[in-house]
Homo-oligomer: A and B are copies of this chain.
Amino acid sequence: MAKADKINFSTPSGFPEFLPSEKRLELYLLDTIRKVFESYGFTPIETPAVERLEVLQAKGNQGDNIIYGIDPILPPNRQAEKEKAGETGSEARALKFDQTVPLAAYIARHLNKLTFPFARYQMDVVFRGERAKDGRFRQFRQCDIDVVARSQLSLLYDAQMPAIITEIFEAVNIGNFLIRINNRKILTGFFQSVGVAENKIKSCIGIIDNLEKIGELKVKQELEKEGISIEQTQKIIDFIKIDGTVDEVLDKLKHLSCNLPEAEQFGLGVTELETVITGVRNLGVSDKRFCVDLSIARGLDYYTGTVYETTLLGHEALGSICSGGRYEELVGTFLGEKMPGVGISIGLTRLISRLLKAGILNTLSATPAQVMVVNMQEDLMPIYLQVSQQLRQAGINVVTSFDKKGLGKQFQLADKQGIQFCVIIGSEEAAAQKSSLKDLKSGEQVEVELANLAEEVKRRLQ
């Protein structure tokens, strides 16, 4: 067969693809995350990979993201087909770069068919022209939940988020993590109270958000660049470094809110934070799983209240593994309606690749098959097929070996893929309605009545 010459068949830079053992891990994580999301009543949606460019660029939501436009390609001699298919590319379309702008569009498109508060999850892939290195990808899967209301949205929805984060990361057992909670109103209020000009506040919040990345000195310098005085800067630094147990920090904040000048926002933020923390505790989340961290702000300037980041302890370099917060004017964009919402996002593709590198997660076996029915005698194939079906009907994943290979080779093939059990049936076993069940892990081999085979395999799989 002729080789398609000189074709570079590698994936385009930044577009990742998993081996089966890695993809199976991703599916396991997706199943786990979905189960937790659904247990809180979040319902699935999926928006197309492609939106109108004007939608993706609405109110400058493109941010720093490089968007990929799409356009039909055809050899010149087939341009006519484009017209025929209405694919003249007149209408600019592009690949979605996040799931928030599409959520806003989805709500606008289906407003009257949705019930509010609308709690949805979405686990689609998104596309960004990022520099394809440092574990950054140009196509990656995000697992998002958001609850959106048309008027008021209870702070208890904010409180559910840390409970959901906790359940997910405990379920997938990735070790010790800490959810860091803050409220943007507290920061805004504090900046007001120390006399930072309104028009400087957002940029200042952006700067202190980088404390961990760039360090205290650099933060001071950047704040001064913004025209913040040395005394103001010192107050700010002292403030965001407040720490202690959740209750200690809350007490300090309540004390401050009584003494700070013109700190209406501040007081409001503290009350919100306290309500959220109480909810988190009533939901049974252990105090060791979360803290109040006044330096957390989330760069994105659409957050207006609660904000979250999640740190994997001992692996701080990974950055936040699940973040989010409360916003007011995001998903109502296309309707011109205020729609308060709160949500979190897990950047799954990046998380998997980094947790695998760090050895925190391990890949699964290369196949879901749990049993191989080996091919010992061609003439017994009808029995092999029948036994395979019998096992499948019992919920066991089975490959039947059709190849005319030696038993040893077949065992090797099974073992290489992580198939634990082989079922061996020769003419004597067949005549006696029996089989030999070989455990490739332990090497143990036992004789089992065909009638009890499924049961026996299931028992040993546990």
The interface of chain A, by Cβ under 8 A from chain B, is: 1-4, 7-13, 15-20, 23-24, 26-27, 38-55, 58-59, 64, 66-74, 81-82, 84-87, 91, 93-95, 104-106, 108-110, 113-115, 117, 119-120, 125, 127, 129-132, 138-139, 152, 154, 156-157, 163, 279, 282-284, 329, 332-338, 366-369, 381-382, 385-386, 389, 392, 395-400, 402-403, 413, 416-417
Contact of A12 among B58, B93, B115, B416 (CB under 8 A): B93
Q: Which residue in chain B gives the minimum CB-CB distance to A91?
A: B12
Q: Which residue in chain B gives the minimum CB-CB distance to A138?
A: B50
Can you list 27 A-B pairs, Cβ within 8 angstroms, ordered by A? Answer: A3-B334, A8-B54, A9-B58, A11-B51, A15-B50, A15-B51, A17-B46, A18-B45, A20-B44, A20-B45, A23-B43, A23-B44, A39-B395, A39-B396, A41-B398, A41-B399, A49-B125, A50-B139, A66-B85, A67-B74, A69-B73, A72-B129, A82-B129, A115-B417, A156-B402, A282-B381, A282-B386
Residues of B within 8 A of A45 (CB): 17-20, 23
* Nearest chain B CB to A338 CB, angstrom units: 5
Let me know if A154 and B17 touch, CB within 8 A. Answer: no
Residues of B within 8 A of A9 (CB): 52, 55, 58, 104-105, 108-109, 334
Q: Kindly state the separation between the CA atoms of A418 and B422 in the bound complex, as whole angstroms.
A: 45
Let me know if A44 and B27 touch, CB within 8 A. Answer: yes
Let me know if B367 and A41 touch, CB within 8 A. Answer: yes
Q: Kindly state the separation between the CA atoms of A31 and B338 in the bound complex, as whole angstroms.
A: 37
Let me know if A54 and B7 touch, CB within 8 A. Answer: yes
* Centre residue among A4, A334, A399 by max chain B CB count within 10 A: A4
Let me know if A368 and B38 touch, CB within 8 A. Answer: yes
Q: How many copies does the complex hold?
A: 2
Let me know if A402 and B49 touch, CB within 8 A. Answer: no
Let me know if B68 and A71 touch, CB within 8 A. Answer: yes
Let me know if A58 and B4 touch, CB within 8 A. Answer: yes
Q: Which residue in chain B gives the minimum CB-CB distance to A18?
A: B46
* Centre residue among A43, A48, A95, A413 by max chain B CB count within 10 A: A43
Residues of B within 8 A of A119 (CB): 367, 399
* Nearest chain B CB to A289 CB, angstrom units: 14
* Nearest chain B CB to A48 CB, angstrom units: 4
Let me know if A85 and B131 touch, CB within 8 A. Answer: yes
Q: Kindly state the separation between the CA atoms of A63 and B32 in the bound complex, as whole angstroms.
A: 39
Contact of A329 among B1, B17, B52, B115 (CB under 8 A): B1
Residues of B within 8 A of A104 (CB): 9
Let me know if B68 and A81 touch, CB within 8 A. Answer: no
Let me know if A82 and B95 touch, CB within 8 A. Answer: no
Q: Kindly state the separation between the CA atoms of A268 and B362 in the bound complex, as whole angstroms.
A: 47
Let me know if B69 and A120 touch, CB within 8 A. Answer: no
Let me know if B86 and A48 touch, CB within 8 A. Answer: no
